[in-house]
Structure 1
Amino acid sequence: MDFQAPNTLAEQIANYLAERIMTGQIRPGERIQEATLAGELNVSRASVKEALYTLERWHLVDITPRKGASASRLDANHASELYDVYMHLLMMLALRLCERWQETDKPILLESVARATEQMRKPTANITAVVEASFEVMEACCRVVDNPYLTEALSNFKPAVSRAYYLSADRYRQGLQQTRSFFSELPKAVLSRDSERAQSLIRQFAEHQKSLIRQALEPETPVAEEGSL
């Protein structure tokens, strides 16, 4: 039997703040005051500080000496660069998955994909549920590949990528048809050990997702008034 230690207080605070940042309750660039937060949550500043370091590792918070912590910025350019790095990590995961999966792994992979596509087929798809189910596929792949360094890197990107999805939820919902197509084609490439095809699918899908996120986060260009220069 596997025993898992309960989340530490700092982890609980980190998860609490992560949800608020990911869903936009704490806006990009907004300061996070250690003392104020410690008072609101009735916890020590040391626990808050530890939580903020965790959020920095998750790319949700920037910590600047003598200025403190603030929610990391997420404009179109930041989101694009974030997704570029994440895409390459996923491509590495796909390569290792094609090399390492065994017959006993097929149910794990296919069941996680089935759960994700089921969420996407619902008439009123819940973005939170879709995003979580999509990450469950990634986590299942990580368990099969069993590379702790790659798993840690991808896990640290999950909150920041989720945040990009939440902030562009309307456009992300519009792209669910292509997302379903991606999740139906990727297992075929992996199970045939076609790493080039798997990586190509990830690149195409990631570029599409990046485009949706950029469109959602790009500032609207003001329409010039008639007669103005």
Structure 2
Amino acid sequence: MAQIRQGPSKDPTMSLQAVSLSEQIARHLSEQIITGELAPGSRLPENDLAKQLDVSTNSLREAFRLLEKQHIIELQPRKGARVCEVTDKQVRDLYDFLFMLLSGLAGQAAARWQPGDIEDLVEMLPQLEQHFMNNDMRSAHKLAFHFVEIATRRFAHNRYLASNILNLIPLLKRYSFIALQEDISEFDVSLQIFKRLQVNVVSRNVADAEADIREYGENQCQIVLRAIAKRNVA
């Protein structure tokens, strides 16, 4: 397992600002959970993991607390940390709640954007399409969520809305990655919705922008549920 280096990440899709060591550890472990390298139910032994990452147990514990807040891991008394399981109810709850928030965010963006607010986001769409054409799904996945994180910080205009969305983004990344593994055409559908969303936001069409996000969530949720059903049968 790679060591964690102190200092901010140089990867623009992973860092919007300088982050603490515990945040870097949390991101590192989160990425392994999202991609399935750390499987559902996996134990995260504190001492062994601290040695592997060459970090203090205090920094690791703080990272664990961040990941627990994001619903990526659970901390069990006297048993330590383990990766959260993936169940139908958890998936439905996440998509129902988070996409209610994201649809409102899309509506705010459509209603309130000003010159300079959306140009960089618009420029990301050709990059997303290029990743898809190159069959580079991991890069596309990262860029799509970089888009969401920037949009959240820029358009939420409410600290509680922004905090709720950003805390749940890692869990959505995890489920979205499952959807991508289940059906690669899911990203093509998502890309088309992103394009439509861009048109509706630029045109200040609030209702349609909100509907685009709800459609995206409903479509992806069903794909994740199908993937879980297949895993349970296997």
Task: Check conservation: 2:33, 2:83, Cα contact below 8 A.
Answer: yes
TM-score, normalization by structure 1: 0.84
Q: Which residue of 1 aligns with 2:223?
A: 212
> Residue deviations 1:75-128, cap 9 Å, x none?
3332222222221121121121122101332412311333223323x1x42221
Task: Check conservation: 1:34, 1:45, Cα contact below 8 A.
Answer: yes
Summarize the Cα distance change of 1:69–1:201 in structure 2 as closer, same or farther, 3 Å threshold: same
Letter of the structure 1 residue corresponding to residue 86 of structure 2: L
| Structure-to-structure mapping, 1:55-134, within 5 angstroms | 55-120=67-132, 122=133, 124-134=134-144
> Residue deviations 1:50-76, cap 9 Å, x none?
110011122211112333211111133
- Misfit runs of 4+, over 3 Å: 3-7, 219-223
Give 1:29's match in structure 2, choosing from 17, 35, 41: 41
Unaligned runs of 5+ in 1: 224-229
Alpha-carbon RMSD across the aligned residues, in angstroms, is 2.4
Give 2:191's match in structure 1, choosing from 180, 200, 208: 180
TM-score, normalization by structure 2: 0.83
Task: Check conservation: 1:58, 1:159, Cα contact below 8 A.
Answer: yes
Letter of the structure 1 residue corresponding to residue 37 of structure 2: Q
Task: Check conservation: 1:112, 1:140, Cα contact below 8 A.
Answer: no
Give 1:197's match in structure 2, choosing from 191, 196, 208: 208
- Structure 1 or 2, whichever has the larger Rg, is 1
Letter of the structure 2 residue corresponding to residue 206 of structure 1: G
Unaligned runs of 5+ in 2: 1-7, 9-15
> Residue deviations 1:18-74, cap 9 Å, x none?
121111121112221212222333332211111100111222111123332111111
1:136 matched to 2:146? The reply is yes
Tell me, in whole angstroms, the C-alpha distance in 1 between the residues paired with 2:111 and 2:205.
9
1:41 matched to 2:53? The reply is yes
Identity of aligned residues (%): 28
The number of equivalent residue pairs is: 219
